[in-house]
Amino acid sequence: MKVSYSPESISDLIRVREFIEVKNPYAAQKMATSISKGISQLKTFPYLGVEVELAPEPEKIRDLIIGNYIVRYLVHAEQIYILRVWHHKEERL
C-alpha cells in the first residue's frame, strides 16, 4: 500500500513538531519518529486504526492512536491517505 498525505496533515505534523521543539528538540524528534513508524505500519495493516463511527463510511475512515496523537486516515483501494494529525487534547475539526 502507498501512503499519501493531505496538505492539512502535513501542516498538522509541522505545527505539532514546532510546538514541542521550542521546549524540547529531542522530544520533538522522538514524537516525529514515533508517528512516522505508526503510519508506516498502515502499509501492511491498513485497518489497524479504529473506525470513525460518525464518518459517512466508517470502515474507510479510521483513527490510529500513536501515544498521545491521533492520525485520521482514509483507506482507499491500494492507498492510505493521511487526512489529519492531532494531539489527543486538541479539538478535532
C-alpha cell at 57: 463510511
Does residue 92 sit within a domain? no
Does residue 83 sit within a domain? yes
50-63 pLDDT tens trace: 999 999 998 999 99
Residue 8 is part of which domain span?
2-87
Does residue 93 sit within a domain? no
In this predicted structure, what is the pLDDT of residue 8? 97
Does residue 53 sit within a domain? yes
Residue 60's closest CA among 41, 73, 70? Answer: 73
CATH code at 38?
A: 3.30.2310.20
Contact assessment for residue 35 and residue 71, using Cβ atoms and an 8 Å cutoff: yes
Does residue 52 sit within a domain? yes
Number of independent structural domains in the chain: 1
46 vs 91, more confident = 46
22-38 pLDDT tens trace: 999 999 999 999 999 99
Give the rounded percent of residues in the chain with a pLDDT score beyond 90. Answer: 84
